[in-house]
Structure 1
Amino acid sequence: MVDTAGTGAGAEGVGASLEPDGPSNSELVIFELAPQEDSGSDTLGRYRYQAEVTAQDCLAMLTQESIDSVVCEWHEDFVVVRTDGSVELVSVKHREGTQGPWTLVELCKSGGLTHLFDRWCACECAANVRLRLATNAALKPGKDNAGMLARMCGPEPEVTAGQTAMAEEVARQMLKVRWKQPYPNVPDTPVCKKDADIRIPAGFAERVVRFLAALEISCKPPHRESITDVNIQRLLVPAVEQLKLAHVDLENTYRAIVDRIERANRDESDRSQLAVYIADPGRVRNRSQIQQRIGRRRITREILRHEVVYTSVQLPTFPRGQAPVVAPGGAKLRRKLRRGRVPSDEAAFAERLRSAWYTTWAERRTGLAGDETDLLNLSTDVLEMAFDCRRHARAQVVEGGEFGIKMNDLLAERLKADALPSPPRIQLSNLHLRGLAYQLCDECHFFFSEPFDADEEAS
């Protein structure tokens, strides 16, 4: 069995009192509390399977606005941060088929249940903290076994009869685990030969009941051999279609996303700083280092979009299957090209490219908040190239001479997708970039001559 969640000795306990101030991610209790230092996380938490299970929530984030981000290797294998201010700690457990289904005893001992409980307690059992145990293996059926436990979990459990007895059994199993593994939030009780002789400390069973209400036991993750294909077909393909992305290399995009998650899992550049943070009860002096570490482990929607890999297929100037749309406006562009002495046929071609940009951007934008930033970054790069072409055009004519024709020639020669400082998020041809340049000119961001009042000339 591959155990992908750490189970080492803890360094902080229930005594930490940190209340969340609001829905801001940086203020959530879980991100005020440093994870435990444990060798299990260091050695076993880097398996590809864990990264691919994490990728399931990351791919869902592309189309679900309810997910804000995913933080890798923080307390558990990863944490899903939601826009409503809640977080979900997820423990990933892969089990080989030869080992059979999980039993209740195994879930508590090696299945990560006790570790999840300990982390939940360390987060002060906060109401905004949810828990998920994700495993590829089945759960053993039976009245007092793992299958029945899963049906009793969650805020609206499928089965309610016998919950108290189940919570007491889980409590006893956790107390047994505590005899050999020093979880700080599980009471230390005397060793007994029989489970029935274990005395449950006052209030502990009640806390386990609350824990089960915050827990989901999921058997949805596929086996290691099939998870790649399942994730691509069930999650990545629908996301690409919903975002209206064309010519996406699915396999390389998926591989890039999982590689990015693995890099976040491997971040251990400030382990000494983390130790100081744990040793300082105030946790104020080192808060900035902890937040920087969280930042390196956080996967956002924007990060995922930058990992999309496109094929080398040449994009058509106008989207196929759609009637060409004439971009609104254009009067100022025509006046500027005319003032710059650009020939009328080239000016008409500029109008066509502006419409090509307009229809392509309308089709391929995602509709998410990041579109405006993407457009601003792309426009800034195109403007920089336009100004560079203007400087060179001016240098090639006599002082005070007309340079619009030369500037337009340089735009056609130099404004290339592979020449931009940063590649566009969506696939664009060189003609689309020129269309964007003409649109920016129509919006009066630059001229093909010395500046003039384009509105006044119209009158």
Structure 2
Amino acid sequence: MCEADYPAVMPPSSPADDISAAELLLTLEPPDDSGAQTLDRYDWQAAMAAADGLRLLLDSMDDAGPLGEDESRRVVCEYHEDWAAVDGEHAEIVSGKHRDPSFGAYTTVNSLLTAGGLAHLFARWCALQEKVTCRLVTTAGLGSGKPPQKLEAATQALRKQRQGDLPLVIDDKHLEAVGEFTQGLLAHADGLPEDWGDSAKAVPPTPTAAQHDQAVRFLSMLSLSHGQPQRSVLPYAAPSMYVRPVLVRMGLPDDIADEVWEAVLGLFRTRMRAAGPRPQAGLPNVLAHRLGSPLPGAVQMDRELAGRIVTIADIHIAIEVAVAAPNAYRPLPRVTLLNRMGVKMAVGDCTDNSIERAEQLRKDHEELWRIRVAVDPEARAEQNKLRRALLRISDNATQTVATPDHAWGTDLWRELQSQIDAMGPDSWTDLLDSDLRLGGICELANRCQVWFSTRFDIDAEMARLRAERGIAA
């Protein structure tokens, strides 16, 4: 197959045609709208949408900092896709996909279509009459030398042709990746235009020339933003990455970046659940569908969607509020349990509930052996046997979960519980159930034989916490 096998594809039409991308985004109802109800589980998506909002704000300001006259830039949350960035008549729909480190990288085009959400993104682009640009934002990378990297190279080449208003011609080195993407769409034809379903039913499934051209136009409007920060590090990275450039442009001190980030992120958390303020509040719709009334236009839909829209003016106000009252956005100080186990688990980012449970299990374990050793001369040997077994489990569990990328105490706590539950039931008496064995791990942590993070000066940290609370050593 060579370049000559496919004629040049005409680039997508300009948004100046009859209806703009932004108007189409607001007036065309999406086929599903479950995102606004389930977004509580996707705080990372809210953070990445907030980053987009901050970029729109930055682009709207001049070097002196004040807002420009054009305030049409905004982010529409959980509508058609995870969010959409709007600037005047232009719109970009964005699919946000958080993938844990265990996922690795996208190594096949099919993984981009499924786990990366490109099939759904393509379907929404088709429904929006090919007028919007599209972007995939994901934590995972693209496998080195794999088809996804080649597909990204194809999108970059096609984008340059589109931006130069040139016919879209596929270079020979990109033919395979584009062909694999087009063929892969046939396996995900649900939600695509009807003719895609017809091609998918053919034997063998074969895309038509028109479908190939449509896929090429889509790729010319697609951006892949991969390797984004994981949710475990994003709270620490976001103020520097996303907030400080805006504060510098506004001439504000950047030492309040953490507080500003919390204020802006709070806006997006709310809007992602479609829980923002509504101009009509709870007033009923009166004579809304009278005879002769037209379908709602972009202005009316903008009002209807107000609960999930964040404008750059909203973001600007949130920044001003955070600057005026930074204490309102500072997290409450954490009260750490002042023993070695509690401090270690806190440093490992374990939850307060896990630490409280661990402390209770530690006390129960300690009390059991205090009584048994006092009345049974053979109990000490059994206690040492259990200690050796628990140290082996903690060693195995730590090697399984420890990573330099983020705090892993919570992962270790979960892994310890799993491995202890898997211990043979015949090895220990009925008194030593899995909870009490986990309590033994907690006691070993209190003796500095088990850690929930890399080793640190535990005595210095405990002294610092005592000093903060005014407790004598």
**TM-score, normalised by the number of residues in structure 2:** 0.52
1:250–1:113: structure 2 CA closer, same or farther, 3 Å change rule? same
Identity over the aligned pairs, expressed in percent?
Answer: 26
Matched, 1:79 2:103: no
2:111 matched residue in structure 1: 106
**How does 1:421-436 map onto structure 2 within 5 Å?**
none
C-alpha deviations, 1:365-392, integer Å up to 9, x for none? Answer: xxxxxxxxxxxxxxxxxxxxxxxxxxxx
SS of residue paired to 2:136: strand
Deviation of 1:139 after TM superposition, in Å, equals 0.9
| Pairwise CA RMSD | 3.5
- Conserved in 2, the CA contact under 8 Å of 1:90 and 1:132? yes
2:204 maps to which of 194, 197, 209: 197
Structure 1 distance, partners of 2:57, 2:125, is 27
Deviation of 1:214 after TM superposition, in Å, equals 0.7
1:168 maps to which of 167, 179, 182: 179
Structure 1 distance, partners of 2:80, 2:314, is 22
Question: What amino acid does structure 2 have at the position aligned with 1:302?
Answer: A
- Conserved in 1, the CA contact under 8 Å of 2:244 and 2:254? no
1:301 matched residue in structure 2: 312
2:133 matched residue in structure 1: 130
Structure 2 distance, partners of 1:185, 1:30, is 21
- Conserved in 1, the CA contact under 8 Å of 2:39 and 2:272? no
Unaligned runs of at least 5 residues, structure 1? 1-17, 271-281, 314-459
1:36–1:284: structure 2 CA closer, same or farther, 3 Å change rule? farther
Question: What amino acid does structure 2 have at the position aligned with 1:152?
Answer: A
Matched, 1:115 2:120: yes
Question: What amino acid does structure 2 have at the position aligned with 1:54?
Answer: A
Deviation of 1:251 after TM superposition, in Å, equals 2.1
1:118–1:268: structure 2 CA closer, same or farther, 3 Å change rule? farther
Deviation of 1:123 after TM superposition, in Å, equals 1.2
SS of residue paired to 1:111: coil
1:247–1:142: structure 2 CA closer, same or farther, 3 Å change rule? closer
Structure 2 distance, partners of 1:283, 1:187, is 35
Deviation of 1:177 after TM superposition, in Å, equals 1.8
1:243 matched residue in structure 2: 250
SS of residue paired to 1:91: strand
Structure 2 distance, partners of 1:166, 1:45, is 36
C-alpha deviations, 1:220-269, integer Å up to 9, x for none? Answer: 52111122222211221121122012487332321121111121111179
Deviation of 1:311 after TM superposition, in Å, equals 5.9
Deviation of 1:41 after TM superposition, in Å, equals 5.7
1:223 matched residue in structure 2: 230
C-alpha deviations, 1:134-193, integer Å up to 9, x for none? Answer: 1111112336x1111111114128993333432221122111122xx444467114768x
Question: What amino acid does structure 2 have at the position aligned with 1:187?
Answer: W
2:294 matched residue in structure 1: 284
Matched, 1:211 2:214: no
Question: What amino acid does structure 2 have at the position aligned with 1:188?
Answer: G
- Conserved in 1, the CA contact under 8 Å of 2:105 and 2:140? yes
Structure 2 distance, partners of 1:116, 1:45, is 22
**How does 1:320-339 map onto structure 2 within 5 Å?**
none
SS of residue paired to 1:73: strand
C-alpha deviations, 1:398-450, integer Å up to 9, x for none? Answer: xxxxxxxxxxxxxxxxxxxxxxxxxxxxxxxxxxxxxxxxxxxxxxxxxxxxx
2:160 maps to which of 144, 156, 160: 156
Structure 2 distance, partners of 1:35, 1:97, is 32
Deviation of 1:61 after TM superposition, in Å, equals 2.2
1:283–1:93: structure 2 CA closer, same or farther, 3 Å change rule? farther
Matched, 1:63 2:58: yes
2:188 matched residue in structure 1: 177
1:59–1:220: structure 2 CA closer, same or farther, 3 Å change rule? farther
Structure 2 distance, partners of 1:240, 1:268, is 27
1:108–1:247: structure 2 CA closer, same or farther, 3 Å change rule? closer
Structure 1 distance, partners of 2:116, 2:150, is 16
2:47 matched residue in structure 1: 52
Aligned residues: 276
1:263 matched residue in structure 2: 270
1:232–1:185: structure 2 CA closer, same or farther, 3 Å change rule? farther
C-alpha deviations, 1:187-209, integer Å up to 9, x for none? Answer: 114768xx993221341111101
**How does 1:298-447 map onto structure 2 within 5 Å?**
298-308=309-319, 309-310=322-323
1:353 matched residue in structure 2: none
SS of residue paired to 2:197: coil
Structure 1 distance, partners of 2:33, 2:112, is 20
- Conserved in 1, the CA contact under 8 Å of 2:154 and 2:178? no
Question: What amino acid does structure 2 have at the position aligned with 1:88?
Answer: E
- Conserved in 1, the CA contact under 8 Å of 2:83 and 2:93? yes
SS of residue paired to 1:310: helix
Deviation of 1:289 after TM superposition, in Å, equals 5.3
Question: What amino acid does structure 1 have at the position aligned with 2:83?
Answer: F
**Which protein is richer in helix relative to its size?**
2
1:141–1:248: structure 2 CA closer, same or farther, 3 Å change rule? closer
1:252 maps to which of 253, 259, 269: 259
Structure 1 distance, partners of 2:40, 2:195, is 23
1:33–1:190: structure 2 CA closer, same or farther, 3 Å change rule? closer
- Conserved in 2, the CA contact under 8 Å of 1:121 and 1:185? no
**TM-score, normalised by the number of residues in structure 1:** 0.53
- Conserved in 2, the CA contact under 8 Å of 1:107 and 1:146? yes
